[in-house]
């Protein structure tokens, strides 16, 4: 089985690397070709075009930044669907709107492709470790075909329904992620205002019923006030915007969406999502 991979950012490189480590033949494409060098050194091949990738691979994964990038990769003038290939299974692991997933799925059907939306929950660490949670929408038989590969990328892969179901679940879990991170940030700032040191409050959180691997994993960044992006704040702001566009309007959803949007406008977008603490501390 020949595997194609499109999108070699912070997530794409370790995920494609896990498929290489599992013994699969992987061919890659990226808008910036030199980003492929770490994978080429491990045995991956480099495609000259998206059409070439689609024509030569049985399954093609896409992991790009947003809705417009997904549409360009699939339906652009030099996109995957211009290849003339038939029967290729495309698996989009990007975080986009359910509407975009359904649109791309229909374009794929018309072109003779099959399509799954399969976004992931987890950032760079779980991607490297193959411990992502993968949420899948599309035909169940297509899911069955790709599941052995998904099992190399994540600790759990769930088929949730037709196209759009995977991206719907991703927006829901990222809403909880945004609320959790902001809640932790507000808790730490409140404790600090009453004289409780941040390091001690982090210990209390970790040992309590509300302690999570997420917050434990952010401890070093919080204590150093240094936020290299595992999951960039700009992506959280985008995901919360998409959730609002899908109709969520509950009090916490409105609050966190506004806060991350303001942090993005304040220039923190390229930092980790936990940099919401720095933004709130300025207020």
pLDDT tens-digit readout, 165-223: 999 999 999 999 999 999 999 999 999 999 999 999 999 999 999 999 999 999 999 99
* C-alpha span between 7 and 29 (Å, rounded): 7
Q: Which residues pair with 165 in a beta bridge?
A: none
Model confidence at 266, pLDDT cuts 50, 70, 90, reads: very high
How are beta strands 59-62 and 2-6 bridged, if at all? parallel
Q: What is the mean pLDDT of residues 257-281?
A: 98
Residue 273 DSSP code: G
The pair of three-digit structure tokens given for residue 218, joined into one six-digit string: 């952010």
Tens digits of residue pLDDT in 39-78: 999 999 999 999 999 999 999 999 999 999 999 999 999 9
- Helices 165-193 and 251-263 sit at what angle, rounded to 10 degrees? 80
Q: What is the pTM of this model?
A: 0.94
What's the pLDDT band for 80 if we cut at 50, 70, 90?
A: very high
DSSP-derived 3-state class of residue 117: strand
Catalytic residue chosen out of the listed positions 35, 152, 170, 218: 170
pLDDT band of 283, cuts 50, 70, 90 = confident
Average pLDDT of every residue of the chain: 96
Distance of CA 144 to the CA centre of its chain: 21
Query: How many CB atoms are closer than 10 A to CB 85?
Result: 20
As a whole number, mean pLDDT of residues 247-272 equals 97
Cβ atoms of residues 70 and 163 within 8 Å: no
Beta bridge partners of 159: 136
Q: DSSP character for 226? A: -
Tokens linked to 94: 């990007």
Q: What is residue 271's predicted lDDT score, i.e. its pLDDT?
A: 98
Q: What is the pLDDT of residue 4?
A: 98
User: Which helix (H) or strand (E) segment is 159 a member of?
Assistant: strand 154-161
Query: Model confidence over 105-145: pLDDT tens digits?
Result: 999 999 999 999 999 999 999 999 999 999 999 999 999 99
| Mean pLDDT across 9-34 | 96
* Predicted local distance difference test score (pLDDT) of residue 252: 97
Alpha-carbon gap, residue 79 to 71, rounded angstroms: 9
Residue with tokens 């404790």: 191
Residue 170 falls in the annotated catalytic set: yes
DSSP 264: I
């Amino acid at each position: 089985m020949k595997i194609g991979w499109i999108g070699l950012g912070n997530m794409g490189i370790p995920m494609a690397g896990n498929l290489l480590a599992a013994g699969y033949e992987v061919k890659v494409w990226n808008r910036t070709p030199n980003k492929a060098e770490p994978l080429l050194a491990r045995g991956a091949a480099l495609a000259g075009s998206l059409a070439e990738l689609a024509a030569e691979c049985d399954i093609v994964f896409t992991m790009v930044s947003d809705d417009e990038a997904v549409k360009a990769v699939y339906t652009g003038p030099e996109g995957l669907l211009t290849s003339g290939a038939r029967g290729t299974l495309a698996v989009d692991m990007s975080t986009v709107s359910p509407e975009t997933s359904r649109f791309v799925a229909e374009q794929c059907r018309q072109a003779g492709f099959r399509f799954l939306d399969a976004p992931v929950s987890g950032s760079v660490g779980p991607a490297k470790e193959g411990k992502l949670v993968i949420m899948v929408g599309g035909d169940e038989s297509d899911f069955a075909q790709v599941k052995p590969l998904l099992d190399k990328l994540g600790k759990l892969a769930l088929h949730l329904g037709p196209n759009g179901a995977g991206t719907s679940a991703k927006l829901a879990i990222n809403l909880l992620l945004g609320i959790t991170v902001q809640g932790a940030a507000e808790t730490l700032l409140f404790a600090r205002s009453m004289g409780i040191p941040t390091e001690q409050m982090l210990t209390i959180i970790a040992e309590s019923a509300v302690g999570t691997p997420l917050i434990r994993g952010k401890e070093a960044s919080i204590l150093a006030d240094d936020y290299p992006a595992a999951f960039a704040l700009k992506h959280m702001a985008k995901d919360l915007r998409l959730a609002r566009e899908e109709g969520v309007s509950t009090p916490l959803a409105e609050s966190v969406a506004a806060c991350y949007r303001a942090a993005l406008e304040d220039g923190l977008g390229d930092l980790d999502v936990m940099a919401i603490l720095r933004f709130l501390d300025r207020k």
